Chain A
C-alpha cells in the first residue's frame, strides 16, 4: 500500500513537472532554462533519425534532404505501432537511444505522454503558430489541452463516412439513409432481400470509438490531475444499444473484419454498406474488385435529422521523442512533412495518407473523381467530415489494453452471450484497474 501510494505521488509529480518544463528536459542542447530559450537551433550540420512504418516515406524525406543539406533526416522503419514499434520506442527511450522523431498514432500519444516519452516543442519556431493550419480536433490530440504545450505535429486523419452500394440501393428502391433510424430501417429491408446492411467487427474497437465520437461521446478525459474513464457514458451506451439491436435482430453480418471472408461479403454484394474512414476507400477497391463502379460515399447517418457530425477512425502524428538533442530542427522537419504541399502530395501518393491540415484537404489529388466510386469526388465528402469531427475526443493512456478487453466482450456478443453495453462496462472497469496498476491517477 505504501509503495503504491508513493508511486502514485511520483507519477503525479512527473505530470506536474512536465507541464512546467519545456524542451529543456532530456539533455537537449538548449540547456536547462525556461521553455522559450530551450528550443534553439543547433550549430552546424544536424543529423536526425525518424522512425516511421509508412511504406515509401523515405522517398518523401528524400525531398527534404535535398532541400536542406544542413538538416539531414535518416528514415528508420519497423512494423506498425502496435505491431512492435511502440514497444521498441519505449525500450529505446529507457536505453537512451530513441530516434529524434517517431510516428505515433493519436490513440497512442497519451501513453507516451504519461510515460514521459515526448518532448514539448511548443517553444520551437512556428510550432504554436501553425495551430490554425490543422483540423481543429487534431491539434487537441497533440497538446492534450495543456497550455504552452505541443508534443507532436498531426500527420493524417481518418474522417468517417458511409460507403454504400449505390446500384443495390437504387434497385431495391431504398433511399440512402441520412439518420441512424433510417439506417436501421434500411437494414430490415436489405435483410428481407437476403443481404446485410453491414458487418459488425469484433476487433475494430477503435472503429466503434469513432461511432461514439460522432455521437459526441467521450471515453476519457483528464483534468490535469486525474483521468476519468467514461466508456459507459450515455452517448457511448446509446451507440452500443443501437448496434446491439442490429446484432440481436440478425441485421448485420458478424464476419471477422479484414479476412477473405469479409472481403468476399463485399465482393459478392451480400454486405451493402461500410461506415468507415477515408483510407477504407482502398480496402474496398482491393477487397471487392468485382464491384467496381457500383459504390458511392455519403456522409455518416446522423443521430438527429439535420445534424452534421462525423467520427474519426485512425490517423497519426509525428512526435519529437524525449532525448532528442535537436528539437528545433526536428520540429521544423515535422512541420514541413505535415504541412507542405509537396510532402502531403507525396505522402498521399506513396501511402494514401489523408492530410491533417485544412489546406491539405484541397490538394489537387484529393479533388479528383475516383473510378471505383463511379467517378464520384469522394474526398469532398471526407473533407467535410474532417471539419465536422468533434474536437474534444480524448484517448486514454492504455488503449491497447482497453481495445483488447472491449474486443473480448464484443466477441462474446457476436457469439451470442452478453450485450455490447456489458462489454463496455467490463472494458471500463478493466481500464480503471489497468490505470491504477500503472500508478496513473484515475477516478474510480
Chain B
C-alpha cells in the first residue's frame, strides 16, 4: 500500500519531466531559427559570415534597420505596408464572408445546402498554389494583372473559414435565440450582426488569424501576378532580393534584417488575439 502511494508522485514527476523535456526541445526547435535571424540582424556584413551564427558580435541592429529603410528609396517599408494592407483587410473581409456563409449554411434550410457545403469543403483540399496560374490567366482577360486587386480579391476567399464558421455557428448559436430575435422584430441581417456575430466571436478570431497568416505568407500568387515593386508584399520583395545575393552581396544584410522585421507583425497579431483564439478552439472542441 505504502509502496504504491510512494510510487505515484514519483511517476507523476517522471512523466511531467518527460513532457517538459519534449516541450522544451520543440520550443528550442522552433525558436532557434528566429534566434539565429535576430542575431544575424544585429551583425554588420563583415561579421555576418565570419562570426558564430548563434551569438552576438558588434551590435549593429539599429544601423542595419536604418540602412534597410533607406535602401532603394525605402521600398522595404512600402512592402511591409502592402503586406499589412493585404493581410488585415483581406482577413477582415474574408472572415466576414466566411462567417456569413458558414452561418447561413448552419442556420437556414434550403435545397442544395449540403451540395454547396461539400463544394466549399472540396475547396479546402485545393492548394492555393495550384490556383495561381489559372487566376493569372483569368485576370489577364480583364487586364487586371499587376494591380492591387489581383492579389487582394483572391485573398478574401477562405473555404476553411466557411467550414469553421458553419461548425461553430451550429454549435454555439441556439435556434431559440434566433427565434426570440425574430419575434422581437429584428431582420435576418440585424440578427446576424448583433446576435450571432457576438456568439461566434471566438471562431471569427480564429478564422481571422488563419486568414491573416495565410495572406501574409502568400508568395506564389503575388510572384505570378505582380511586376510593379510598389505593389509587392514583403515576402515577394525579400525573395526578389534574396535571388540577387550571389551577385550583389551587399543585399544579404537587408534580406536578413528584413526577414526578421517581417515576422514582428505576425507575432503582434498572435499575442494580441491569442486570448480569444484559445477560447475559440476550446469551445469548439467541447461542443
Q: Are B227 and A96 in contact, with the CB atoms below 8 A? A: no
The answer to whether residues A286 and B249 also contact, given A51-B227, A79-B240 and a CB cut-off of 8 A, is yes
Q: Are B50 and A267 in contact, with the CB atoms below 8 A? A: yes
Q: Are B239 and A79 in contact, with the CB atoms below 8 A? A: yes
Looking at chain B's contact residues, the main secondary structure is helix
Chain A residues within 8 Å of B246, by CB: 258, 283
Which of A53, A91, A99, A264 is in CB contact (< 8 Å) with B243? Answer: A53
Complex interface bits, A138-178 against B, C-beta within 8 A gives 1, otherwise 0 = 00000000000000000000000000000000000000000
Interface residues on B, range: 20 to 34
Chain A residues within 8 Å of B229, by CB: 76-77
Chain A residues within 8 Å of B249, by CB: 282-283, 285-287
Q: Are A282 and B248 in contact, with the CB atoms below 8 A? A: yes
Q: Are A76 and B227 in contact, with the CB atoms below 8 A? A: yes
- Interface assignment of B247: CB less than 8 Å from any CB of chain A: yes
Query: Complex formed: what's the CA distance from A83 to B238 in Å?
Result: 12
- Interface assignment of A260: CB less than 8 Å from any CB of chain B: yes
Chain B residues within 8 Å of A31, by CB: none
Q: Which residue of A lies closest to B146 (CB)?
A: A76
Q: Are B143 and A97 in contact, with the CB atoms below 8 A? A: yes
Q: Are A263 and B49 in contact, with the CB atoms below 8 A? A: yes
Q: Are A55 and B244 in contact, with the CB atoms below 8 A? A: yes
Q: Are A95 and B136 in contact, with the CB atoms below 8 A? A: yes
Chain A residues within 8 Å of B46, by CB: 286, 289
Q: Are A287 and B248 in contact, with the CB atoms below 8 A? A: no
Query: Complex formed: what's the CA distance from A283 to B243 in Å?
Result: 14
Q: Are B224 and A91 in contact, with the CB atoms below 8 A? A: yes
Q: Are B137 and A95 in contact, with the CB atoms below 8 A? A: yes
Q: Are A287 and B49 in contact, with the CB atoms below 8 A? A: yes
Complex interface bits, B29-64 against A, C-beta within 8 A gives 1, otherwise 0 = 000000000000000011001100100000000000
Interface contacts (Cβ under 8 Å), in number, total: 90
Complex interface bits, A96-120 against B, C-beta within 8 A gives 1, otherwise 0 = 1101000000000000000000000
Complex interface bits, B222-246 against A, C-beta within 8 A gives 1, otherwise 0 = 0110111100000010011111111
Q: Are B227 and A91 in contact, with the CB atoms below 8 A? A: no
User: Closest CB of chain B to A47's CB: distance in Å?
Assistant: 14
Query: Complex formed: what's the CA distance from A114 to B77 in Å?
Result: 40
Q: Are B244 and A84 in contact, with the CB atoms below 8 A? A: no
Query: Complex formed: what's the CA distance from A260 to B226 in Å?
Result: 32
- Interface assignment of A290: CB less than 8 Å from any CB of chain B: yes
Chain A residues within 8 Å of B140, by CB: 92, 95-97
Query: Complex formed: what's the CA distance from A286 to B50 in Å?
Result: 10
User: Closest CB of chain B to A261's CB: distance in Å?
Assistant: 9
Chain B residues within 8 Å of A78, by CB: 223, 226-227, 240
Residues of chain A at the chain B interface (Cβ within 8 Å): 49, 51, 53, 55-56, 76-80, 83-84, 87-88, 91-92, 94-97, 99, 258, 260, 263-264, 267, 279, 282-283, 285-287, 289-290, 314, 351-352
Residues of chain B at the chain A interface (Cβ within 8 Å): 45-46, 49-50, 53, 72, 133, 136-137, 140, 143, 145-146, 223-224, 226-229, 236, 239-252
27 A-B residue pairs with Cβ-Cβ distance under 8 Å, sorted by A, are A53-B244, A56-B72, A76-B227, A76-B228, A76-B229, A78-B226, A78-B240, A79-B243, A83-B243, A84-B243, A88-B224, A92-B145, A95-B140, A95-B145, A99-B227, A258-B245, A263-B49, A264-B50, A267-B49, A283-B249, A285-B249, A286-B46, A286-B250, A286-B252, A289-B45, A289-B46, A352-B248
